[in-house]
Structure formats: C-alpha cells, structure tokens
Amino acid sequence: MMGENNMTRGNQYGIPVDPKNPSKGLKWLSIMEMEDEDFDLIEEYFLIKSGAS
C-alpha cells in the first residue's frame, strides 16, 4: 500500500506530517526510527483517504 502511494524510498517510509492535509508532505524515517505515533499517522492518512474517517 505504501509503495503504491509513493511513500517509500530506499529503506525509509514516508510518514504524513498532517494526515488531514497531505500537501504538508512527508517525514522520512527507517522502520527502526518509527514510533507508535508515526504508525498512527500512517493509519489515519489511509483511513481518511479511503473515506472511512
């Protein structure tokens, strides 16, 4: 899912800075640098994108 949405580069993942306003961009972190809040932001982004939120 993240690859299809251009949210990966090398070994990093793009975390939305503001899931409600994707134009603010992404912050790039490796999986080992990510915290629970980062996963929550990714989940919120995809829920909003799917119209479930």
3 domain residue, yes or no: no
Per the structure, the count of domains in the chain is 1
46 domain residue, yes or no: yes
Question: What is the rounded distance in angstroms from the CA atom of residue 27 to the CA atom of residue 9?
Answer: 11
For residue 28, what are the domain limits?
Answer: 8-50
pTM beyond cutoff 0.75: yes
Predicted confidence at residue 45, as pLDDT, reads 95
2 domain residue, yes or no: no
35 domain residue, yes or no: yes
- Sign of the Cα torsion 37, 42, 48, 52 reads negative
pLDDT at 2 over 90: no
Predicted confidence at residue 1, as pLDDT, reads 74
41 domain residue, yes or no: yes
Predicted confidence at residue 52, as pLDDT, reads 77
* Mean pLDDT calculated for residue range 1-27: 90
